[in-house]
Structure formats: structure tokens, C-alpha cells
Amino acid sequence: MKRRWTILPAAMLFASGLYAQAPDINFDANANLLKYPDSVAIGEVAGVATDSKGNIFVYTRTGHPTITIGTSRPFAHGGSRLYQFDRTGKFVREIGKDLYGFLVAQQVRVDPQDNVWVVDQMSSMVIKFDQNGRVQLLLGRKSESERVPAPPLDAPGRAGRGPAGAGAQSDIFNRPTDVAWDNAGNIYVADGYGANARIAKFDKTGKFVKSWGAKGSANSQFNSIRGIALDSAGNVYVADAGNKRIQVFDGDGNFKSQITNVGSPSAICISSGPHQYLYSSNSNPPEDIDHDGEIYKLELDGRIDGKFGRAGKLPKEFGTVNAIDCRRENELLVGELGNWRVQKLTLH
Amino acid sequence: MKVLFPATAALCALVWAQALPAQSKAKAQNVPEIPYDSVPNLIKMPANLYLGEAMGVATNSKGHFFVFTRSNTTRLFEFDASGNYVREIGEGSYGFEFAHSVRVDPEDNIWVVDEGTNLVIKFNPAGRVVMVIGHRPDVVAGAVATTNAPAPPAQKYILGRPTDVAWDPQGNIFVSDGYINNRVVKYDKNGRFLAQVGTEKAGNGKTELNLPHGIAVDAKGDVYVADRSNHRLQVFDNNLGFKASYDNIGDSWTVCVSPGPHQYLFTSNSNPNGNAPGTWETTGEIYKMELDGTILGRFGHASKQPGGFQVVHMMDCRNPNEIYVAEIESWRVQKLLLKPHAEAKK
């Protein structure tokens, strides 16, 4: 009887969808952490990540996205930059200046060996840099040219970006969004915004292994994958934003569970250490800053520890968070598309 | 049908282009001329740095002025009061694609309006971005052909080729929006939507607009809108309720309200792009008015020579006797020193 007594109210709460009742976590925010040189005018912050030394990498939509005139085809160039800062926010350097694959910044992540991985949404490439900023590995291929006017974003095989459609077994991406690794170094790519709706797995040498997923809302189906993260056991957490859930798989793509009470997961992160936490942002869309925007802190099994923040333009408010770095449990960095900034958050 | 659609679109574009209203001769008659001088060679550019189309000019409290210009890329330059080059702000900004206006608020923050990215961007005096209003359409969507189809419903936080920005004494933000939408939006000082007048649709009713092209707010919080394609200047109260319409000053391209205890309203009947024969003789002048619409005088005329105007786009009137004008087609900024003049008969 006692057991039943405790479970019932919790189940009722869950069923009524009152996830807004998650406890509020107090936090402080520093919106002026990064010190830019005069020559750097940063735009939308798509990705932010730290390495083991505390260096901060920012992949940002900065500069002028440009289409140039060719003999018969228009070519896309530029529009995104990758910057490195030290742990105090002091500018260190630019990486990948004028790189062929830097078009529309989507994400940056740092692997356990401190390699810096960039995901570009428009070149549909995943680019691995070593600590010295040299390109080590490329996944996907930038389409040779653009079509003007562009076909619809969800058009199959848009602009020659690989075989069409959900679950395509291919090493070519369509608007990929994120990258993660397991302990063996296998690479998992969230793919992504476009007509593909799948997770693509590669071995550590970059050889395609398999992919899983399809467009839809059933288990193992996706609708706009915004992020991916792995825990130390090798489970794969997928931010299935369009379906308002995080799906959890084993490393072979077998469905395990889903987390459904955290809004639309638009950026996720799993902290390191013996007790891992999952962070997930219910980011507001650019056209609305009056709803949503909060970030959830969860246990890996989906239980919510609390939430913090809301959409807005002030410090301590969030403008379309696209990235969370959570190398330390209660010290987060968030990258905002809407407010063109990185904030450092300290949870209490 | 496949062939018909582009053909129809092209035809619409042609008709639309030809139907552009000729610039209006102002109805106001016997307006006193205000004599003025144009400061010669105002701007001293460093070697190999050039202004393109000068879209906006604005002064700060220290007398420095800022020019937002369509160069190879859109750029924002700062000059001191003597016109010496000081610095560039926001070089390579993601929000700079097609300049439209620059304004400086009472705290010397610099606000730019870019109609190529649909953004209003606030820079602090140090030149750092501290607020962004609107959202640049995702680049990954690629180039989208401009259509003459009706604009989609206007959204609170998405702008459609915005044109200008202003503030009331409380710091509320007013955006004229623009070429695609036909409205003025009021945000609070933190960027949250409060109200709007007009919609995505153009119209000529009291609370409708047709290409709101410039905006200014007086010390009471009343809002003055250059309602360009309606050939008038519309006045709204602070909650964007209709107050008055001034339709005797030609086509209001841009407006400015001077600070201080006695505020003046300036509006430009800019000579048109395209320069139809005869229009130079009847347009191009700027009016100096009381806030209630009483015309005090006029100055300027269409001309490519210094002292004349080749399409005034925006102006600054921090000092009502020292007017800065940014001209599109002369790629220049002039500083005009107004002289005492005969009072208009009231």
C-alpha cells in the first residue's frame, strides 16, 4: 500500500503534463565573458564548446554569406567563422579562416582528445580539427554549386546533397546539426534538419558504418533532429525537436526509451564525471521571445532535477539557444542565435 | 501554366515599376526660404576608403557623426565633429547587407537598420552589439526570388525590410517596418513587443501606412512617421493611436525631431530616384515645422552640386540649425548651417 501511495500522485502529475512545475534552479549569468578584438564583430552564435584546458571554441554565423557568379553555376562562400578564446574569455585565435566548408555555422564540439569538430548546416559537412587547428578528417561533401532561387529546404536530394530521404544509408548529409562520440571513438552525426531524418554512425577512421531513423513520430523516427549526445555507457540521446522528445538508443541504434516532458529539445549536453546529467534547452523560435526558452537539468533516466531561464534579450535571458557546453556540471556555456552571444551560467 | 506564372510575375513587376508614383510637388505654397550654407568637404576619408550610397547619418552627444553606407559591403563609419575619420564599427557584421538607417539614442548607443538582413542592431558606444531586433532569414534557405505577392501576416519579432528606428523618453523602441510590412512596431526598452499600427498590408486610412520610410518621436512620446507612398507624414500618440496627418509637404521620405525645450519637426520631400523630367524643379526640399504641423520654412533643392540634394535619405537635427543629410545618389553627407530667416505667417 505504501508503495502505491507514493507512485500514484507522481503518475498523475506526469499525466497532466505539468512539466512547468519542475523546480526552478537559481543561476547567475555572465553575458560579457568573451572579449573580442576590434576586428571581430560576432554574429549568431550557433556553437560553443570547451576543451579539457578550458579553452572556449565558438562557431558563429559571422561575415557575409556570398554567392559568386560562375560560368554557368552560382557558388556559395563564407558567412561563418570559428574562434578560440581562453578560459578567461581572452581571444586566442581564429581557426579555419576562409575554409571551404564554412557556410552556415551549426555546431562545434570538442572530443575527449581535445580535437575540435565543426558541423556546418549548409555545406553539410562535419570537419575535425586537431588542437593545432589543422584539418584531420572530413565527413560529407559540400555541394559544388547552389541553385537560385533555392528549392524548398525539405526537397529530396536538395542541391545534390546525397541520396534522398529518411534513413538513407549514406555518408552524405542534408543539413546536419550535431556530432558526438562513444568511448571507442565511433562518430555519431545528427542528420538533421533536412530530408534525412537519421543518425549516421562512422567508425573512428571516418568509415561509414550504418544509419538509423526515418521521418515520422513513432519510435526510431525523427522530425527535425537538433542535437545528439552520448553518455559514458554508450547510450545515444537524440534531440528530436519536432516530436518534442529526446529519444534514447543503444550504440547500435536500438530504441531504448524517450523523454517527453521538456518542450522541444533544441540543444542537449551530457556532463562528464561519475554522475552524469543531461541538459536540454526548450529554445524559443526566433519569431517569438514571449514563450519558452527554459533549460532543463535531468537525470539520464529522464527525471527532471529542475529548470532555469526564459526567452528574452537581457542577460540571464535566452535568445534561441543552439548550443550547450556542460563539461562541468553546474557551469554551463550557452550559445544564442537570437542574441549573438555566449553566456556563462553558474547554477546554484 | 508553368510558363504563365513567371510571365505573369514579370508583367506584374513591369506594371509595378511603371506605376511608381511620381514624386509629389508639395501643396504648401509661399513657404519662406531658409538660407543655409553647406560645409565644404565635410568628410575626410582615409586613402582608398570610400562612401557608397549614404543611407543614414546621425550625431552623438559629443558631436561625432556616424554614416551607414552601402559600400562593396554595407559599412558603418564614425567621424569626429570636423569630419575626420575615427573608426569603423561592426566590420564584417552578419547583420550588414543593405544599409538603410543609423540613429543614436540619448545614451549614445548607435542603432542601425539593415533592410538586407531585416535587422535592427543596437551597438553600445564602444561599438559592441548589445541588442538585436528581428531575425535574419536563415541563409541555408538560399536566395529566394522577391515576389510581388501579398506579404505574409506580420509577426511580432520578424521585420520585413525595416527602414528606421526611434525611442520615446522611456526608452521604448519604435521601428518603421518597412518595404514588405506597412506598419510601425513599438517594443519596450528590453525588446519585447508592445503594439503596432498598420499591418503587412498597405493602405491609406488613418491607421494604415504605405511604405513607412522614416520615424521620429518627440519628448511627449508622440510618433512621427514618414508615410512615403501615401504622400504624407502621419502622427500617432505613444500607443500608436492616430493623431494627425500632414499632407502638404510632398512625399515624406524621412523625418527628424530636434531635442530641447522647443522641438522642431523636419521632413524631406526628397527628389525621386529616376528623376522624371520636371521633378527637379518641384521636389527635393526639406521643411522645418512646428510639431503641430505649422510650416516655418523650407530649404534645399534637387541638385548634384554641393548645397543641393541628390535624394536625401535620412537626416540628423540634434541642433535644429545644423542639419546633417545623407544622400543616396550623391554618395555623400552634407552638414547644413541654417541662417536666420523671415518667420512664416501663422
- In terms of CA atoms, which chain B residue is nearest residue A106? B140
User: What pLDDT was estimated at residue A191?
Assistant: 94
Region of poorest pLDDT, from A309-323, B149-163, B259-273, B286-300: B149-163
pLDDT of A16 over the 60 cut: no
Give mean pLDDT, residues B117-139.
95
Closest by Cα among A94, A311, A338 to B129: A338
Facing residue for A122 by CB, picked from B140, B143, B190: B140
SS3 string, B117-133, reads CCEEEEECCCCCEEEEE
Domain count, chain A: 1
Instruction: Measure in Å the smallest separation between the Cα of A250 and chain B Cα atoms.
Output: 32
Residue A4 lies in a domain: no
For residues A189 and A210, give the distance between their C-alpha atoms in angstroms, rounded to a whole number. Answer: 11
**Range with the poorest average pLDDT among A100-104, B41-45, B271-275:** B271-275
Contact between B317 and B258 (Cβ < 8 Å): yes
Instruction: Say if A325 falls within a structural domain.
Output: yes
Cell of A302: 529522464
**Cell matching residue B223:** 510618433
Q: What is the dihedral of CA A239, A242, A243, A246, to 10 degrees?
A: 10
Which residues contact residue B32 at a Cβ distance below 8 angstroms, ignoring those fewer than 6 apart? B296, B297, B298, B341, B342, B343, B344
Average pLDDT over residues B229-237: 97
Is A217 within 8 Å of A232 (Cβ atoms)? no
What is residue B178's predicted lDDT score, i.e. its pLDDT? 93
Confidence of residue A149 (pLDDT cuts 50, 70, 90): confident
Predicted local distance difference test score (pLDDT) of residue B127? 96
Per the model's pLDDT, the better-predicted residue between B139 and B11 turns out to be: B139
> Of the given ranges (A137-146, A217-226, B229-238), which has the lowest mean pLDDT?
A137-146
Q: Point out the residue among B96, B135, B139 whose CB comes nearest to the CB of A122.
A: B139
Residue of B94, B140, B192 lying closest to A175 (CB–CB): B140
Statement: residue A102 has pLDDT above 70: yes
For residue A159, the one-letter residue type is: A
B140/A104 touch (CB, cutoff 8 Å), yes or no: yes
Chains A, B: CB contacts within 8 A come to 92
pLDDT at B2: 37
A150 closest CB neighbour out of B93, B142, B191: B142
Share of chain B above pLDDT 70, in %: 90
pLDDT for the residue A153: 64
DSSP assignments along B274-295, one per residue? T--TTHHHH---EEEEETTS-E
Mean pLDDT of all residues belonging to chain A = 90
pLDDT at B101: 98
Averaged pLDDT for residues B151-162 = 92
- For A2-65, strand residue ranges (E) read 27-30, 44-50, 56-61
pLDDT tens for each residue of B170-189:
999 999 999 999 999 999 99
Q: Does A222 reside within a domain? A: yes
* φ, ψ of residue A241 in degrees (nearest 5): -60, -45
Q: What angle do CA B282, B287, B288 make, to 5 degrees?
A: 160
Query: Does residue A292 fall inside a structural domain?
Result: yes
Q: Residue A102: give its domain's CATH number.
A: 2.120.10.30
Q: Is the peptide bond before A263 cis (omega within 30 degrees of 0)?
A: no
**Chain segment B13-35, per-residue pLDDT in tens:** 333 433 445 578 999 999 999 99
- For residue A123, list chain B residues with Cβ-Cβ distance below 8 A: none
- Residue A154 in domain: no
pLDDT at A279 over 90: yes
Q: Which residues touch A141 (CB under 8 Å, ≥6 apart)?
A: A124, A125, A172
Nearest C-alpha of chain A: how many angstroms from B231?
A: 32
Nearest neighbour of B142 by CB, restricted to A64, A149, A341: A149
Instruction: Report pLDDT for B1.
Output: 30
Taking an 8 Å Cβ-Cβ cutoff, which residues of chain B contact chain A?
73, 87, 90-97, 127-129, 131-132, 135-136, 138-145, 155-158, 190-193
Q: What ipTM was assigned to the predicted interfaces of this complex? A: 0.86
Q: How confident is the model at residue A150 (pLDDT cuts 50, 70, 90)?
A: confident
- With beta carbons under 8 A apart, name residues in chain A contacting B158: 286-287
Q: Write out chain B residues lying below 8 Å of A61, CB-based.
A: 94, 139
User: In this predicted model, what pLDDT tens digit does every residue of A281-331 receive, in sequence order?
Assistant: 999 999 999 999 999 999 999 999 999 999 999 999 999 999 999 999 999
Are B92 and A61 an interchain contact pair (Cβ–Cβ within 8 Å)?
Answer: no
CA B55 to chain centre: 8
Question: For A239-263, how does the pLDDT look when each residue is reduced to its tens digit (9 = 90+)?
Answer: 999 999 999 999 999 999 999 999 9
Section A107-122 average pLDDT = 97
Asked whether residue A159 is assigned to any structural domain, the reply reads: no
On chain B, the residues whose CB falls within 8 A of the CB of A177 are: none
Residue B182 · residue B203 · CB < 8 Å? yes
As a whole number, mean pLDDT of residues B284-307 equals 96
Min Cα separation B134/chain A (Å):
8
A6 found inside a domain: no
What is the percent of chain B with per-residue pLDDT over 90, rounded to a whole number? 82
Give the pLDDT confidence score for residue A6 in this predicted structure: 41
pLDDT, tens digit, for every residue of A33-88? 999 998 899 999 999 999 999 999 999 999 999 989 888 888 999 999 999 999 99
| Residues of A in Cβ contact (< 8 Å) with B140 | 103-104, 121-122, 153, 175, 193
Contacts of A44 in chain B (CB under 8 A): 94, 136
Output the average pLDDT for chain B: 91
Give the closest of A44, A122, A314 to B190, CB-based: A314
Residue listed under C-alpha cell 542574441: A339
**Statement: residue A155 has pLDDT above 70:** no
pLDDT of residue A229: 98
A42, closest residue in chain B (CA to CA)? B93
Mean pLDDT of A110-131: 97
Nearest CA in chain A to B96: A64
pLDDT at B196 over 70: yes
- Is residue A8 one of the residues assigned to a domain? no
Containing domain of residue A203, as a range?
A: 22-143+165-347
Instruction: Give mean pLDDT, residues B282-300.
Output: 97
